[in-house]
């Protein structure tokens, strides 16, 4: 009996304990519930025949360094963010003063999709013409006197317009790459919940580990 405990039960118990410790303090897997970060990270599609990506979050990284602009993070939404995302949304049209986002500009496109079907299975891109409106997020960076457009390389072009003040100390501005289809800070601002406390940030998403064909490290 002692040999059985030593050779089998003890190693299994140690392995389980280590798994819990690693998940609690170092790295933890998460399933991506939405397509707010498409195309970098995919959620399930509207027909349910595409498995959502699963990622590993590094829970140690922000104990060693500060968060950087462009980091892909896993976080707990605030109560205001949850409330805003549970409500029906209405987008109000507004013309963009930025030349690249005006009709004819290099970023002047609109992505159109059915609800919850963002991605190649449900998105089409329309070129804006004269009289059309586009939308963009404007962010005031620390030390800047005016806001400027926040454009993320390879992201789906924003189709909304909202301006944010300077991010307060100890908080972060969270925006999805799939900006038109993301319930992020541009929606939470309606609840005065546009910023997320650093304490709510669980860690940095390091890699997609499932499905197998999607395995990759995240930049």
| Same domain assignment for residues 157 and 200 | yes
Calpha distance 116→183 (Å, rounded): 12
Residue 139 is predicted with a pLDDT of 76
For position 69, what pLDDT does the model report? 87
Beta pairing partners, 210? 54
Residues 22 and 82 in one domain: no
7, 39: one domain? no
Domain check: are 94 and 3 in the same one? no
Query: What's the pLDDT score for residue 208?
Result: 92
Low-confidence ranges of the chain (pLDDT < 70): 1-27, 45-49, 87-99, 101-104, 106-125, 128-136, 151-159
Q: How far apart are CA 201 and CA 198, in angstroms?
A: 5
Q: Are 180 and 135 found together in one domain? A: yes
Note whether 12 and 85 are same-domain residues: no
Would the pTM of this model clear 0.85, i.e. be above it? no
Question: Is the distance from CB of 159 to CB of 135 less than 8 angstroms?
Answer: yes
20 and 97 within one domain: no
Structural domain boundaries, residue 89: 32-217
Pair 10, 116 in one domain: no
Q: What's the DSSP call for residue 174?
A: -
Instruction: Write out pLDDT tens, residues 129-178.
Output: 666 665 667 777 778 887 777 766 666 666 677 888 889 999 999 998 88
User: Do 54 and 81 lie in a common domain?
Assistant: yes
Q: Using CA atoms, how far apart are residues 126 and 128, in angstroms rounded to an integer?
A: 6
**Domain shared by 7 and 112, yes or no:** no
Question: What's residue 87's pLDDT?
Answer: 65
Residue 70 burial by Cβ neighbours in a 10 Å radius (0-12, 13-18, 19+): exposed
Distances (CA, A) of 148 to 113, 165, 177: 27, 11, 17
Q: Specify the number of domains making up the chain.
A: 2
Is residue 30 within 8 Å of 57, Cβ to Cβ? Answer: yes
CATH number at residue 157: 2.10.109.10
Q: Report pLDDT for 90.
A: 41
Residue entry with tokens 């195309």: 39
- Residue 195's pLDDT is 95
What's the pLDDT score for residue 51? 82
- Residues, the chain: 219
Residue 74 shares a structural domain with residue 133: yes
Instruction: For residue 72, count other CB atoms closer than 10 A to its CB.
Output: 16
How confident is the model at residue 203, as a pLDDT?
92
Q: What is the pLDDT of residue 13?
A: 44
My answer on whether 9 and 56 are in the same domain is no
Quick one: which of 153, 210, 207 has its CA closest to 177?
153
* Torsion, CA 4, CA 7, CA 12, CA 13, rounded to 10: 70
């Amino acid at each position: 009996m002692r040999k059985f405990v030593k050779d089998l039960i003890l190693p299994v118990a140690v392995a389980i304990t280590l798994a819990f410790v690693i998940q609690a303090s170092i790295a933890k897997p998460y399933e991506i519930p939405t397509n707010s970060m498409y195309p970098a990270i995919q959620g399930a599609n509207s027909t349910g025949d595409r498995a959502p990506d699963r990622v590993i979050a590094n829970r140690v990284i922000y104990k060693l360094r500060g968060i950087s602009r462009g980091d892909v993070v896993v976080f707990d939404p605030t109560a205001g963010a949850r409330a805003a995302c549970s409500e029906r949304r209405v987008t109000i049209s507004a013309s963009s003063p930025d030349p690249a986002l005006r009709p004819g500009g290099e970023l002047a496109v609109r992505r159109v999709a059915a609800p919850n079907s963002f991605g190649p299975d449900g998105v089409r891109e329309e070129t804006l013409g004269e009289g059309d409106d586009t939308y963009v997020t404007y962010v005031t960076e620390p030390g800047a006197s005016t806001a400027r457009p926040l454009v993320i390389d390879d992201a789906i072009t924003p189709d909304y317009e909202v301006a944010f003040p300077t991010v307060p100390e100890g908080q972060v501005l969270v925006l999805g790459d799939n900006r038109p289809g993301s319930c992020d800070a541009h929606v939470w601002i309606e609840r005065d919940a546009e910023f997320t406390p650093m304490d709510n940030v669980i860690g940095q998403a390091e890699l997609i580990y499932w499905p197998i064909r999607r395995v990759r490290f995240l930049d």
